[in-house]
Amino acid sequence: MNDLIKKLVEAYGPSGFEDHMRDLIRPEVEPYVDEMSVDALGNLITLKKGDGSGLKVMIAAHMDEIGVMVTHITKEGFLRFTNIGGVRPHGLWGSRVQFANGVIGMIGSDRIDDRSKIHPLSKHYIDVGATSAEDCPVGVGDAAGFVQPFFTNGKLLTSKTMDDRIGCVVAIEALKRLETTPHDVYFVFSVQEEVGTRGAEAAANGIDPDVGIALDVTITGDVPECPPMSVSLGKGAAIKVKDSGMIAHAGLVRLMRQRAEAANIAHQMEVLDGGSTDARSIQ
């Protein structure tokens, strides 16, 4: 499974530019589904048909990642940029980004004399090795994703875009193992989650599911100086009860707990103060 994880987490796919991710996922799931389509927004929607006696179930995992988009090219060839999703300036300096055409750039920032301050995004730039605007290999409106290799440390995995390529892997593996079901199960690999769960909203409007489940990541409460939280790394899947965008259906939460306990699956209950997932748009 690590080979599939590596392939997906290292792939390019900022919000709005998920085509490559969709092309990687499609052959993984096509042999196991009864129907597959791509909607107008770019969601990859697959259907495993039931026997007609069950419900319509939508399971969503988003393909997109946070990134940056070029807003201006200076006469010296440096790229000014804006964010795609939740990009925070305090960790950008020295980061590598890659554009769809394969060009890699390094993020720098304007001179700062007060080291106690953090430059806003507008004071950062990308250096792609160009010497002028004319010889710059990318243009205004081009998007880039971050570059970070996948590696393992025992049972721990580290990479960019675990949010939410790991959810895509879980969906793919679940789909492969789902042999029969009374339900019509829609596995949706959604777009533009990082900029407002837009893809899941469009997909849910089209599918009109009876049950919706989002597969995504969360933060933990077991790192230094973090907000108190009952979720810890390595102690099982987190079953969300509430976040800033939705309150989970109590019956569905109860069912998940019961099934996890019956199968001896380690699990934790999650209440997240900030942030949300595709679940809010499905709901």
What are the tens digits of pLDDT across the range 74-91? 999 999 999 999 999 988
Query: Above 90 in pLDDT, residue 218?
Result: yes
pLDDT of residue 91: 85
Query: Above 90 in pLDDT, residue 132?
Result: yes
pLDDT of residue 90: 86
Task: Provide the percentage of residues in the chain whose pLDDT is more than 90.
Answer: 89
Say if CB 238 and CB 246 are below 8 A apart.
no
pLDDT band at 56 (very low <50, low <70, confident <90, very high): very high
Which residue among 18, 65, 193, 270 is the active-site one? 193
pLDDT of residue 274: 87
Section 34-52 average pLDDT: 96
Domains of the chain by start residue, with CATH: 2-65+150-282 (3.40.630.10), 67-146 (2.40.30.40)
**Range with the poorest average pLDDT among 75-89, 115-129, 157-171, 177-191:** 115-129
Mean pLDDT of the chain: 95
pLDDT of residue 113: 78
Q: Which residue has the higher pLDDT, 85 or 228?
A: 85
Give the tens place of pLDDT for each residue, 100-119: 999 999 999 998 877 778 88
pLDDT band at 228 (very low <50, low <70, confident <90, very high): confident
pLDDT of residue 20: 97
pLDDT of residue 55: 97
| 3-state DSSP assignment of residue 20 | helix
Cis peptide before 127 (omega within 30 of 0): no
Query: Above 80 in pLDDT, residue 254?
Result: yes
If you ran DSSP here, which 8-state letter would residue 247 be given? B
- Catalytic residue at 194? no
Q: Cβ contacts of residue 232 below 8 Å, gap of 6+?
A: 220, 221, 222, 268
pLDDT of residue 98: 98
DSSP string across 166-205: HHHHHHHHHHHH----SSEEEEEEES-GGGTSHHHHHHHH
pLDDT of residue 231: 94
pLDDT of residue 272: 92
Angle at 283 between CA 41 and CA 180, to 5 degrees: 80
